[in-house]
Amino acid sequence: MLQGVNTKLTSGASTVTGAERLRARMAEQRPVHIISAHSPLSAILAEEAGFDGIWASGFELSALYGLPDVSLISMAQHLDMVRAMVDQSSLPIVADIDTGFGNAINVIHAVRQYERAGAAAVVIEDKVFPKVTSLIADGRQELVRMEEFVGKVRASVATRSDPNFLVIARTEALIAGLGEAEALARAAAYEAAGADMILIHSKQKTPDEVESFVRAWDGNAPVVIVPTAYPQMNEPRIRALEKIGMVIYANHAIRAAVTAMKDVFARIRADGGIHHIDRDIVPVEEIFRLQKMEVVKRNEARFLL
């Protein structure tokens, strides 16, 4: 359980894992701030911005492919992107694995693969498979039986080989309109099954619903929040609740990318060229820096004899 996060990190490994780094950061600071990413480039930018970790977002990856977030992206596609981000960033990665790609047997396979890929944590939600993205208006929001999801949590905990690897159980009870009592009952059952943290999600436009849940939560597992729908949930408000261990900014990378591209593309068309926009976007040299072209040049000088 995460309440043991202040204990010494697992020893014997030659390198510190992402899971160890995430737990260490949570021991130093709560809450930790996790930002979405959908590519190695966005992961690099997240690290340079000073975030504590990366949310490997299923929503963002779906959008990158131009697809709705309804379980169309495969585990293999998501894993490939997680591996690519791990390769380019030292930040711990919290992998959004939706419903776990099936039942508890699928979850066993998924947790094993994500841990091997270098993820620090997985978040599994208690919806049916295939899921529908949470914030869509009038979306189909169906939950599995509490007992079935308890089995998924237990399978996740039993499968991980590194005890530092976090299993975060996400309840969609508020999203499904089932109320706080159901959300609390599910959260308690998931913690009892071994979940390290509880993610509570809401699509209300104010933080009231989430704040009420957090105040009522009497478990030991820290709470994870995703304040996409209720952006007024700022740092002072979060800290006042005391029980929140992680904040995930879940789709801002893809929204920022779309905003910027739409603006730049429209201006190029309106101006009939790039003569005005060129001064307002990063120079190509900044892309070279992010691509580490200086390393390539040094290696060329050293090895291309």
Cβ-proximal residues to 20 (8 Å cutoff; 6+ apart), any chain: 9, 10, 13, 162, 164
Residue 282, burial from CB neighbour count under 10 angstroms (0-12, 13-18, 19+): exposed
The full 3-state SS of 116-184, as one line of letters, equals HHCCCEEEEECECCCCCCCCCCCCCCCECCHHHHHHHHHHHHHHCCCCCCEEEEEECCCCCCCCHHHHH
Single out the residue of 62, 50, 53 nearest to residue 247, CA to CA: 53
69 is catalytic: yes
Residue 136 is predicted with a pLDDT of: 83
> Could you give the CA distance from residue 74 to residue 5 in angstroms, rounded to a whole number?
32
- Identified catalytic residue from 52, 69, 96, 98: 69
Q: Kindly list the domain boundaries of the chain, sorted by start residue.
A: 2-252, 258-303
> Could you give the CA distance from residue 30 to residue 166 in angstroms, rounded to a whole number?
16
Handedness of CA 223, 255, 137, 233 (dihedral sign): positive
Residue 1 is predicted with a pLDDT of: 47
Q: Which residue has the tokens 């079935």?
A: 148
- DSSP designation for 230: -
For residue 33, what is the enclosing H or E element?
strand 32-37
Residue 9 is predicted with a pLDDT of: 42
Residue 135 is predicted with a pLDDT of: 86
| pLDDT tens digits, one per residue of 184-239 | 999 999 999 999 999 999 999 999 999 999 999 999 999 999 999 999 999 999 99
Single out the residue of 81, 28, 27, 14 nearest to residue 54, CA to CA: 81
Residue 14 is predicted with a pLDDT of: 56
| pLDDT tens digits, one per residue of 128-181 | 999 999 988 888 889 999 999 999 999 999 999 999 999 999 999 999 999 999
> Could you give the CA distance from residue 9 to residue 4 in angstroms, rounded to a whole number?
10
Q: Please, what is the angle between helix 104-117 and helix 75-88, to 10°?
A: 20
> Could you give the CA distance from residue 92 to residue 47 in angstroms, rounded to a whole number?
10
| pLDDT tens digits, one per residue of 31-87 | 999 999 999 999 999 999 999 999 999 999 999 999 999 999 999 999 999 999 999
Topology of domain 2-252, per CATH? TIM Barrel (3.20.20)
> Could you give the CA distance from residue 124 to residue 82 in angstroms, rounded to a whole number?
16
| pLDDT tens digits, one per residue of 11-24 | 444 589 999 999 99
Q: Give how far Cα 181 sits from Cα of 190, 227, 245, Å.
A: 14, 21, 21
**Would the pLDDT of 253 be above 90?**
yes
> Could you give the CA distance from residue 302 to residue 195 in angstroms, rounded to a whole number?
50
Q: What torsion, rounded to 10 degrees, do the Cα atoms 105, 109, 115, 119 define?
A: -90
**Would the pLDDT of 2 be above 80?**
no
Question: CB–CB of 226/204 below 8 Å?
Answer: no
